[in-house]
A and B are shown apart, each in its own frame.
Chain A
Amino acid sequence: MLYSEIVMDHFMNPRNVGTLDDADGIGEVGNAKCGDIMRIYLKIDNDTITDVKFETFGCGSAIASSSMATEMIKGKPLADALTLTNKAVAEALDGLPAHKLHCSVLAEEAIKDAIKNYYDTHNIEYDPAQFKESGHSHEH
């Protein structure tokens, strides 16, 4: 099989799909041209992610990594969420095929983008070096 059982589980039964009307931060990465887009909605209270939802246009790997990544940051402090790497997401999924790894980088980047959006919209100071430009073009 192309994908592990965990990937298939998260793809077939994705966790945290949807939107948050009162989101504190919204992030989006990818573009339809390259075939994967992930948008993430965060509810933040006291520097902690109290709720998270995602919407993804993309392949099985992109949807599964979106689902897994949201599970990994839900209820966590922002500082922890900022250290989430796509490698950790891929490992939690029991690995992804090599040519599919690029589809999973979206999760890490979308989360960072949403946190940055939260800081920006709430006038919170931060170190911009945390959000170094990634390979994916941002489209807001």
Chain B
Amino acid sequence: MKVYADNAATTKMSRSAIDAMLPYMEEVFGNPSSLYTIGQEAAEAVYKAREKFAKALGCTVNEIYFTSGGSEADNQAIRSAAEIGAKRNKKHIISTTFEHHAVLHTLDKLQTEGFDITYLDVHENGLVTAEQVAEAIRPDTCLVTIMYANNEIGTVQPIREIGALCREKKITFHTDAVQAIGHIPVNVKEDNIDMLSLSAHKFHGPKGVGVLYVRKGVYISNLIQGGAQERGKRGGTENVPGIMGAAAAIEEAVKNLGENSEKLLKLRERLIDGLLEIPHSVLNGDRNSRLPGNVNICFEGIEGESLLLLLDAKGISASSGSACTSGSLDPSHVLLAIGRPHEIAHGSLRLSLSEENTEEEIEYIVSEVPKVVYYLRNMSPVWRDLQEGKKDYVIQ
């Protein structure tokens, strides 16, 4: 059986997203800046796509900026807020320890440019609170950037409350909503969001297409200098087919959101219950405030990459936060942020589901993962020491 369970990494494109793209490669291939018919048709199509995103997010078309993906949107949002902050002598930014690297590395860069960054603790449950944000705010705070939902452990932050607080304190609030959009309800007005990043390939759209939402009146500057595209804020001929695919995907995702998340929740709960039957395993991240498709579990005594390779041999595609899967020497910064010790973080497994996964697939995962975990534990010197009482279990 083939089971794709890595939808947080990327998703399979939907038929309707692919179909929405094809005419803009084969027929209406004109440059939206061109005056003749197929150029203007392309421009109109991009406008319609912009309307679809505005509708999905609850904003206006002029608040939507198309980008090359989530990373670019994160970079542009943070850079813009920092630039205006610096002009006003406000060089303090509040974020969390478990943001995506598109955010963390941008903040690292700003730190070298003299910004002071406060990284809020996300606790063992993978959640920050609005109170933590309130306590961290200073007179020189120019930006709060906190992700909507975490990409590894799926925890969903109290964005609406944090947004309300920032609005009250007149501090720009950005959220990386790459994992949330299309999966849980998001409305930028109701959630008091000033800037939001999203990426189409996380909801069955194409890779390399993202959106930065910027509330009217909030300052943004260019990351990419160029022509007048995106109202002068992002140079470069529009990726028309990509934008069309993304728009079809967001429309479909939002339309089916309720139905999909109901289905996913059932699958997720069954999967968590099934996998936690393995002794000395633990769920990472809060079980309730969690994306409907995210499961992330640590198994004591084993290493994640070998787990992934053996699952791949059984047709299951998943991911892990082990150092050896990332190519670095440290395991996932997210698992370390929620307080998992290194040796436990190496043994993590993330399964991220989509509505295309079936109950049969979940049962297959629940039957195969334990076999692989026991097999690896049987050849693990760490597991032997635990079993022989030479070391204490970290996970009871």
Which A residues lie at the B interface, using CB under 8 A?
Answer: 8, 11-12, 14, 17-19, 28, 32-39, 55-63, 99-100, 102-103
Contact = CB atoms under 8 A, between A and B. Distances in A.
B324 A17 contact: no
A35 B323 contact: yes
Nearest to B325: A59
Most buried by B among A8, A37, A102: A37
B343 A58 contact: no
Nearest to B300: A32
Contacts of B302: 57
A32 B342 contact: yes
Given A12-B313, A32-B346, A35-B331, A61 B324 contact: yes
30 contacts: A11-B306, A12-B310, A14-B379, A17-B379, A32-B342, A32-B346, A32-B382, A33-B343, A34-B323, A34-B342, A35-B331, A36-B303, A37-B382, A38-B381, A55-B380, A55-B381, A56-B379, A56-B380, A56-B381, A57-B301, A57-B381, A57-B382, A57-B383, A59-B306, A59-B324, A59-B325, A60-B305, A61-B324, A63-B306, A103-B324
Contacts of A62: 303, 306, 324
Contacts of B304: 59
B1 interface: no
A62 B306 CA distance: 9
A11 B381 CA distance: 16
A41 to B, nearest CB: 10
Interface in B367-396: 379-384
- Interface of chain B: mostly helix, strand, loop or mixed: helix
Contacts of A14: 379
B303 A58 contact: yes
A136 B104 CA distance: 30
Contacts of A99: 327
A129 B343 CA distance: 32
Contacts of B322: 35, 59
Q: Which one of B302, B327, B381 has the greatest number of beta carbons of chain A within 10 Å?
A: B381
B372 to A, nearest CB: 12
B223 interface: no
Contact of A59 (B303, B313, B343): B303
Nearest to B378: A17
A10 B127 CA distance: 42
A52 to B, nearest CB: 14
Interface of B: 301-306, 309-310, 313, 322-325, 327, 329, 331, 342-343, 346, 379-384
A73 to B, nearest CB: 18
Contacts of A37: 381-382
Nearest to B320: A59
A59 to B, nearest CB: 3
A103 B244 CA distance: 45
A132 B316 CA distance: 43
B381 A39 contact: yes
Contact of B342 (A33, A58, A61, A102): A33
Given A28-B381, A55-B380, A59-B324, A34 B329 contact: yes
Nearest to A37: B381
Nearest to A58: B303
Contacts of A28: 381
Considering the complex of A and B, which 9 residue pairs feature the smallest CB-CB distances, nearest first? A32-B343, A59-B324, A59-B305, A39-B381, A55-B381, A33-B342, A57-B380, A35-B323, A99-B327
Contacts of A59: 303-306, 322, 324-325
A63 B379 contact: yes
Nearest to A61: B324
B379 A36 contact: no
A53 to B, nearest CB: 10
Contacts of B306: 11, 58-60, 62-63
Contact of A35 (B303, B310, B380): B303
Contacts of A56: 379-381
Contact of B324 (A19, A33, A100): A100
Nearest to B309: A60
A12 B379 CA distance: 13
Give the residue among B343, B383, B384 with the most A Cβ atoms within 10 A: B343
Contacts of A63: 306, 379
Nearest to A54: B379
A62 to B, nearest CB: 8
Q: Which of B304, B329, B342, B382 has the most CB of A within 10 A?
A: B382
Given A57-B301, A60-B309, A36 B324 contact: yes
Most buried by B among A14, A55, A61, A100: A55
A8 B304 CA distance: 16
